[in-house]
Amino acid sequence: MSGTIGGIAALAALALIVVVPIALSLHRRPPEEVVTTGSARGRAGMAVHPWRGHRASGPMSWALAAGVTALGLYFLGSSSYAAAVFIAAGLCLLYLVWARTTGRAGDGTLTFTPEGLHQLLAGSEVFVPWDAVRGLVTTPQDFIVETTRPVVPVHHMPTWLGRRNVVTADAISLPRQNLPPLPYQEMVELYSTSPAAREELATDEPVRRARGLLSATGSGSR
């Protein structure tokens, strides 16, 4: 009887640990956290981060991964199948959280620097030099950058985790999940066609403008 009660309590605790990170992931970040100064390849620039999430998501993700693993260890004495499933899932979660915490995975942040456009998501890193950009096509899921030459993603994790929808000789996709509504097409056109305008990306001015746009629009997508 006590074993049953303990199992129910463990599952209830796990359910709570699962629900809290999901709730935190829906939290709307203020513009000051969404658009910041950043860097890519050693150059300062403007970083556009996902606009939903919370600072507590990281610790809660660690708690979720540890909780799933601990639940697997709990089941070792009663159900080897359940133990194997939960331990395997827990170890996978621990790997993913570790990769996210160390920066190996990335969260899809777009960084605009005077040299080009950078994104790291699910371990797939892409850098598109401005002189290789022909244009930008937007879809509900992706920014598809049209290029004058092939751009090859660099994978820091298993390839299947960071698979991109478009990788061709003249285009590459940058997933736009959870990125805020900004005039990306106009921004890419400006910086890809005007070398003089690119230099401002190393300053705070584009960051202030982007924050102002987010404060003014409040909601919607582009």
DSSP state of 131: G
CA dist 104 and 96 (Å) reads 9
Q: What is the pLDDT of residue 21?
A: 60
Pair of tokens at residue 188:
């890419």
Collapsing DSSP to helix, strand or coil, 222 comes out as coil
Residue 195 to residue 192: CA distance in whole angstroms: 7
Distance CA 26, CA 96 (A): 20
- Residue 99 is predicted with a pLDDT of 84
| 209/211 Cα distance (integer angstroms) | 5
Query: What pLDDT does residue 23 have?
Result: 61
Contact 58, 101 (CB under 8 A): yes
What is the 3-state secondary structure of 146-162?
Answer: EECCCCCCEECCCHHHH
- Please report which residue ranges of 35-183 form alpha helices under DSSP H: 57-74, 80-101
- Residue pair 10/74 in contact (Cβ under 8 Å)? The answer is yes
pLDDT of the residue at 193: 94
pLDDT at 73: 86
| Nearest Cα residue to 71 out of 143, 6, 154 | 6
Report residue 157 as tokens. Answer: 């994790």
Which stretches of the chain drop beneath a pLDDT of 50?
Answer: 1, 219-222
Helix (H) / strand (E) element for 15: namely helix 2-25
- pLDDT tens digit string along 169-212? 999 999 988 899 999 999 999 999 999 999 999 999 999 999 99
- pTM score, two decimals? 0.77
CA nearest 66: which of 34, 83, 91? 91
